[in-house]
Structure 1
Amino acid sequence: MSKLAVTLWDFTWYTRTAPGEPFHDLDDAFAQAVERGYNTVRICAMPFLLFRSGLDTSALTFGGLGGEYGQRTRWYDVQAPATLDGRAHLLSFFRAAARHDCRVIVSSWEYQQSPAFLADDSWHRALRAVPVADRPLVLADAHADLIDLLKAEGLADTVAFVELHNEVQYSGLTQPGRFGQVLGLQDPLEAGIDRFKDRHPSVSCTVNYARVPVGELRAVPRNADVAVFHPYVYGVLDELVETFALRDTSRPYPQERAYAELLRDGAPPLEEWLPPADRRWILDATVVGRREVYTHDWCDPDKWDRWLYERYATYRVAMRQVLDTWLLAAADFAAARNVPLVFGEGWVGYTPLHGTFEEGPVGAEICAYAVRRSREVGAWGTVVCSNAAPHHPMWADVALQQRLNADFVR
């Protein structure tokens, strides 16, 4: 089984298609990926939208979150709106993948953030209208419909495997009050995988998890065909997230400390940084909260990076130990289940668009170590890191990606 050198194109392959955007020319994007040593692309295939939403998808307009909101936040910095036929664009993508001899990991980010980029809230409302208990089944049906289309077009061989959804414990697939918990999701996810396999028994199907949920691995669906994890170790980045309460709204945001230690001159206060009034619904359509978007949008990247570098020595050993523990635990789990192992995202965590901690000398060394350890533990697929994709600045470091991909697939 040939190894998968994965680049993470998420939902950006359809949200950033205007002239000058990284996915305006899909053939060029694939050619650049192959040049860097990749042979696999992982995407949100918008399956619910295209096949189960009931919406007209022949003229979908995608753009940013509204005004300048999110424009310095990684993944959210859509520069210009574009309108496309959803199914036609999907087929164009898979045809381009086939021309460049690339495999595709088919996933969905729809219950996390994809709908926030549509010009209206119709996709978001359609997703929320599905009862939580039914969502894995509906996604399974949508993915099966997608595979039906690819088979009809002679493109099904490009699919490496299907994931019902991205990071299931941090998505709208969880019951209220259980956000972030793996336990309790096993039965509905197993039902979803069974539903998909009833229609496409020869196509591998799974789900994936943020981090490696050591202590809850028993709850990973027993019928998953691939073990997929996202080992974001955070470490020193977690101290920043905690210090500035970026994800903990039960504590006040330390505005004055943020001004002093992280933010650019002229940054407005947190409460004033919002999308336009007619786009406020996007706050419910993405799992990335207002505090994190605000701090990423308004940070001084040098201050952000300096904050991490000044504290990294305290975390260096622990971050490597956590990464080793997670990779070994994931490999042992996959071996026990007799399924292949893939690391579809990783390694440090979510950083601002113009921050360079993960692209710089420290982060690049972490990436190199993680890729090497992925090979040593027998992973079928891995990423250089989540930021190594056409819509991130790290894409420009061609040599690093070539070297690490070659190291993994050898």
Structure 2
Amino acid sequence: MPVAESIPNRPPDRLAMTLWDFSWYVRTGPGEPFEDLDAAVAKAADLGYNAVRICAMPFLLFRSGLDTSALRLEPLGGPHAEYGSRVRWYDVREPAVIDARAHLLALARAADRHGVAIIASSWEYQQSPAFAADPAWYEALHAVDPEDRLTVLGEAQADLVDFLAEHGLAHVIACVEPHNEVQIGHLTAGLPGAEDAVVELQGRLEAGIAAFQARHPQVRCAPNYGGVPVGSLRGLPRNATALAFHPYVYGVLDDLIEEFGLRRPPARFPQERADAAILRPDAPRIADWTLPPEHAWKLKASIMQPSEIYVHDWCDPEGFDRWLYNGYGAHRIAMANRLRDWIDAAADHAKRLGVPFYFGEGWVGYTPRDGRFEEGPVGAAICRDAIAHSVRVGAWGTIVCSNAAPQHPMWADEALQRECNAAFLKGAA
């Protein structure tokens, strides 16, 4: 397909990224952090970032067949807006209606004005459609045969680059990803399950990357993985032109998740133990904290477990943090070693394939919105260590922390963000 813009393959030499995921369009209502896109991009640039990583909603815009000129978005709970309202990434407060293609153009224009590159990914088989006011987007995604989903996403990303090129903006794209965390979510549907999903997804991913590269060989295309899958790196696509990993080290957070069953069915939730240790006194019973049946599709569209939503909504943030601090000492060395080893393994396999690599998310893990473990002294030290490791191994890009973005309280810690971004960009020069 001919395009109006010749797209030079000249993204920044190093990407200091802030993670805007799907928030940049679902958090656009009055008073929300992305109500003014230009101001948000300008602030990111002021804090030392030169890249934003987003769900560019490529399937919705270019392959769903849906009219997106008046896309209706709302909190996860819909009219039951309190559900998910204290869950990090899910705490949408205000409904909004956007022209989705115009919104993408607005972000690209703002990025171009402020010298910020875009990493275009998709969260569509994980979370994005859960914030739509109706299930049409979710249903269109799941109507695609699982074997074809990554190929369709590759074509959709090529469509997106064409669309931006028609408006003279394709040069803002530093890299595309077929999808976020490919081995975690609905892209694994239909796999035999005999081996790790990273290995079994290899053929599907290679087909998706090939579909994109056939149209835009000059734009890097990176498979994106949750964690660093050290036991199955043989499954990395052989035609990848970049690699993206998310080194969440968890450690003591894993202990909390296991202790309170955050990723187990609600029927197995230890209510009394949680009441005593981490929940607010006014927390309802977990069986009472549900969405009505007509909104059950929203939980299917999101891969988050109801028990985790319940705890994040109803925890005492200080109690949650205190539990982590009390157990951190026993995990400190192991967490530091995992961070180093995973970053080293990612770098080693990128060198084996001869491609650049970046860390699009990290470092501790998924904590409640009002928790401050990752923003506090322990978490800040881990951020600094991760930046130093990213410099040491020659990463193309990295983040300060997944929580360093406008939709999270950590955005207010300007000093840490300026320090880490400067350390990465200066150290990697």
TM range (shorter): over 0.9
Give secondary structure in 2 for the equivalent of 1:307.
helix
The worse-fitting range, judged by mean Cα deviation, of 41-50 and 195-204 is 195-204
Give secondary structure in 2 for the equivalent of 1:199.
coil
Whether the 8 Å CA contact 2:28–2:35 is kept in 1: the answer is: yes
The worse-fitting range, judged by mean Cα deviation, of 160-169 and 275-284 is 275-284
Alpha-carbon deviations, 1:320-366, whole Å to 9, x = none? 00111101111111111111110000000000000000000110111
CA distance in 2, matches of 1:44, 1:73: 19
Match of 2:107 in 1: 93
Whether the 8 Å CA contact 1:65–1:279 is kept in 2: the answer is: no
Amino acid in structure 2 at the alignment position of 1:238: D
Residues 1:348 and 2:364 aligned together? yes
Shift of 1:290: 0.3
Give secondary structure in 1 for the equivalent of 2:188.
coil
Match of 1:38 in 2: 49
Q: Can you give the 5+ residue segments of structure 1 that lack an aligned partner in the other structure?
A: none
Residues 1:389 and 2:405 aligned together? yes
Normalising by the residue count of structure 1, what TM-score does the alignment of the two structures yield?
Answer: 0.98
CA distance in 2, matches of 1:147, 1:394: 32
Shift of 1:250: 9.3
Give secondary structure in 2 for the equivalent of 1:9.
strand
Give secondary structure in 1 for the equivalent of 2:200.
coil
CA distance in 2, matches of 1:313, 1:254: 25
Match of 1:83 in 2: 97
Matches within 5 A, 1:223-234: 223-234=239-250
Q: 1:274 to 1:293 in 2, by over 3 A?
A: same
Shift of 1:252: 1.3
Matches within 5 A, 1:206-217: 206-217=222-233
Whether the 8 Å CA contact 2:264–2:305 is kept in 1: the answer is: no
Equivalent in 259, 262, 267 of residue 243 of structure 1: 259
Q: 1:282 to 1:327 in 2, by over 3 A?
A: same
CA distance in 2, matches of 1:107, 1:44: 5
Match of 1:19 in 2: 30
Amino acid in structure 1 at the alignment position of 2:32: E
Give secondary structure in 2 for the equivalent of 1:372.
helix
Give secondary structure in 2 for the equivalent of 1:328.
helix
Shift of 1:175: 2.9
Amino acid in structure 2 at the alignment position of 1:149: F
Whether the 8 Å CA contact 1:170–1:180 is kept in 2: the answer is: no
Equivalent in 120, 138, 141 of residue 106 of structure 1: 120
Shift of 1:280: 2.0
Give secondary structure in 2 for the equivalent of 1:281.
helix
Give RMSD over aligned pairs.
Answer: 1.3
Equivalent in 137, 144, 153 of residue 130 of structure 1: 144
Shift of 1:186: 0.3
CA distance in 2, matches of 1:350, 1:180: 22
Whether the 8 Å CA contact 1:345–1:383 is kept in 2: the answer is: yes
Equivalent in 20, 28, 32 of residue 39 of structure 2: 28
Equivalent in 96, 106, 129 of residue 115 of structure 1: 129
Q: Can you give the 5+ residue segments of structure 2 that lack an aligned partner in the other structure?
A: 1-11
Amino acid in structure 2 at the alignment position of 1:19: P
Matches within 5 A, 1:177-188: 178=193, 181-188=197-204
Q: 1:114 to 1:352 in 2, by over 3 A?
A: same
Match of 1:316 in 2: 332
Match of 1:168 in 2: 182
CA distance in 2, matches of 1:326, 1:236: 17
Give secondary structure in 1 for the equivalent of 2:108.
helix
Equivalent in 204, 209, 232 of residue 220 of structure 2: 204
Residues 1:159 and 2:173 aligned together? yes
CA distance in 2, matches of 1:276, 1:364: 39
Shift of 1:19: 1.9
Alpha-carbon deviations, 1:125-183, whole Å to 9, x = none? 11111110010111111111111101111101100110000000002111346497211
Whether the 8 Å CA contact 1:263–1:295 is kept in 2: the answer is: yes
CA distance in 2, matches of 1:278, 1:80: 20
Q: 1:277 to 1:251 in 2, by over 3 A?
A: closer
% same residue:
59
Amino acid in structure 2 at the alignment position of 1:355: G
Q: 1:329 to 1:141 in 2, by over 3 A?
A: same
CA distance in 2, matches of 1:248, 1:279: 21
Residues 1:288 and 2:296 aligned together? no
Shift of 1:251: 7.6
Whether the 8 Å CA contact 2:266–2:307 is kept in 1: the answer is: no
Whether the 8 Å CA contact 1:65–1:275 is kept in 2: the answer is: no
Equivalent in 310, 315, 332 of residue 299 of structure 1: 315
The worse-fitting range, judged by mean Cα deviation, of 268-277 and 318-327 is 268-277
Whether the 8 Å CA contact 1:97–1:103 is kept in 2: the answer is: yes
Residues 1:409 and 2:409 aligned together? no
